[in-house]
Amino acid sequence: MASGDARIRCSLRCRAGGSQALLARMRNGGDGHGGRWPAGTAVDVVGDCGWSPLLPDRSVEMLDAGAVTQAIGRIYETMLDDRAESAWLDAVRDCVGAEHAVLSDTTGPTLAMHISRVDDGMLPLAQRLSATTMYDPALASMPVRAARRMSDFSPIRELMRTDLYEDLLRPLHGGHALAFTWRTGAGRAAIAICRDATRNHDYGDDEVAAMQPLLQHLHNAFQLRMTFLAQQAVMHRAHAALDAIQDGVAIVGVDGRVRYVNPAARAMLLDGGALQLDRGALRAARSEDEHRLFALVRSTVALRAGMSSAFAQHADDSATGGGIPIALRRDPPRRPLLATVAPAVSTMGLHGVPAFADAAMLVLRDPDQKRAPAIGVLLEMFRLTRREAQLALALQAGEALSVAAARLGITEGTARQYLKSVFAKTGVERQSELAVLLRNLA
């Protein structure tokens, strides 16, 4: 239909229970709801027992099952893409012949809005519209996960008299909307598919029914995407914590496949003296060390999971699910690489990662490698003063409090006050606990 053409050709589908009077009113210019069709509208009556307004003919063709199926496929194909939500809304908008589509989510601390492609000048208007609370009562009263016309909850005639319509909806070519809402953990999310109320008719029952499965799939994809992104963020936080450790850390499955290595572990594997990475699998330089290492990996994972498999029943008594030490030999004069095997789920679980139940964490330490002093870490991580950090490191190295105080040029009483402050800032209560904490940070 050419731009500016006032003629809109609509099809009227026969329904049981219709009336001749309704058709007569429509032939005389009525829209069947007490309103009027735009001037010059041509009405083709199909049957004489009722009516259901559909899109202009071009949109009716788009709403066949094939188009809906293609749109659903497009949603899942792009689920992990950047700006996937906007691509989904484009597909929904094009499928139903709408002006634009918006997805808003109030779950987080701020409103999240996604919109189909629009002119740059319309984006600020769309953001203002998403932030309005005018639609909240209507959305709250809608059944969840069900496509509904907004006009069934907020009459279009009343809407068109508001400043909101004149200031936002009309410039955005909106007015008629098909809504689909669902509850989230701490809020609500909603999809709105909008048409220009001055140029198009409202959504018909057939269109609402046809869009229901598409919107349900969009909801499912959005939920899956949010879960994936949340888990990805958790994994990034866990990896960042492990990356900050000076020791090498590798997450290894019982099959020997490496799930993750931090930079320190990667350097040790590239060195290849005791361990190396072979096509994604961890290999030891000596076969007997590899056998011992993976026996510990399997027993650690089995004991953590409470399994009663044969290798768990015959596991070494020291494999209690905590850290299990093992020395991996290297050619002289290099000393063995020291490894500690622990359940990965115990460590990653601290960061909210539920995965890795079938994996072990290897903490690798090279005794030949000179370690950087930890004083900067203590200053940054625990907000210790330089004197407090120096005292803590002296005690961790085995010095008596009186000796450390004399070396630092302070009295023993002052040193005790410093130590109390160190305990308070680090969350430990004894010198032995402080020594363990500092050793793990070294």
CATH number at residue 394: 1.10.10.10
pLDDT in tens, 301-327: 888 766 434 444 444 433 334 478 999
344 and 385 belong to one structural domain: no
Is pLDDT at 417 greater than 80 in this prediction? yes
Query: Same domain for 208 and 165?
Result: yes
**304 and 265 in a common domain:** yes
Query: CATH number for the domain including 281?
Result: 3.30.450.20
| Residue 44 domain-assigned (yes or no) | yes
Say what percent of the chain tops pLDDT 70: 78
pLDDT at 109: 78
Q: What is the CATH number of the domain that holds 146?
A: 3.30.450.80
Q: What is the mean pLDDT of residues 370-398?
A: 81
Say whether both 274 and 306 belong to one domain: yes
pLDDT at 61: 43
**Residue 240 placed within a domain:** no
Let me know if residue 370 belongs to a domain: no
Rounded mean pLDDT of 97-114? 89
10 Å CB burial of residue 108 (0-12, 13-18, 19+) is exposed
pLDDT at 191: 96
pLDDT digits 0-9 by tens, 67-90: 899 999 999 999 989 899 999 999
Q: Give the per-residue pLDDT at 176.
A: 95
Residues 273 and 411 in one domain: no
pLDDT band at 25 (very low <50, low <70, confident <90, very high): very low
**Residue 392 above 50 pLDDT?**
yes
pTM of the model: 0.57
Statement: residue 348 has pLDDT above 60: no
For the chain, give the percent of residues with pLDDT over 90: 45
**Amino acid type, 46:** V
Q: What is the predicted pLDDT for the residue at 107?
A: 81
DSSP state of 165: I
How far is the C-alpha of 352 from the C-alpha of 60, rounded, in Å? 48
Q: Is residue 223 part of a domain?
A: yes
Q: Are residues 304 and 284 in the same domain?
A: yes
For the chain, the average pLDDT equals 79
Of the candidates 377, 263, 437, 247, the one whose C-alpha atom is nearest the C-alpha of residue 325 is: 247
Quick one: CA torsion of 230, 235, 238, 242, rounded to 10 degrees? Answer: -160
Tell me which of 365, 387, 407 is where a domain ends.
Answer: 365
Bigger pLDDT: 356 vs 133: 133
Same domain, residue pair 294 and 327: yes
Per the structure block, which two tokens stand in for 26? 């429509």
Confidence band of 374 (pLDDT split at 50, 70, 90): low
At 237-279, the pLDDT tens digits run 777 777 767 789 999 999 999 999 988 899 899 988 999 999 9
Query: What's the pLDDT score for residue 37?
Result: 42
The answer to whether residues 74 and 223 belong to one domain is yes
Unique residue bearing structure tokens 């370690």: 371
* 215 domain residue, yes or no: yes
Q: 256 lies in a domain? A: yes
Q: Is the domain of 281 the same as that of 356?
A: yes
Q: How many CB atoms lie within 10 A of CB 31?
A: 18
pLDDT digits (tens, 9 = 90+) for 175-212: 999 999 999 877 889 999 999 999 999 999 999 999 99
**What confidence score (pLDDT) does residue 91 get?**
93
In a domain, 125, yes or no: yes
Residue 432 or 422, more confident: 422
- The least confident of 96-100, 243-247, 359-363 is 243-247
pLDDT of residue 296: 93
As for how many domains the chain has, the answer is 4
Q: What is the pLDDT of residue 239?
A: 75
Cβ distance 131 to 171 under 8 Å? no
Could you tell me the two tokens for 196?
Answer: 């220009």
Least confident of 20-29, 78-87, 387-396: 20-29
Among the candidates 316, 337, 365, a domain finishes at: 365
- CA–CA separation, 95 vs 90, rounded Å? 8
**Three-state SS string across 283-352, please?**
EECCHHHHHHHHHHHHHHHHHHHCCCCHHHHCCCCCCCCCCEEEEECCCCCCCCEEEEEEEHHHHHHHHC
Same domain, 162 and 75: yes
Quick one: 180 and 105 in the same domain?
yes
Q: Note the pLDDT of residue 355.
A: 60
Burial of 435 (0-12, 13-18, 19+ CB in 10 A): middle
- Last residue of one domain, picked from the residues 53, 68, 87: 53
Residue 388's domain spans which residues?
Answer: 375-441
Domain co-membership, 28 together with 120 = no
**237 occurs within a structural domain:** no
d(CA 150, CA 268): 62
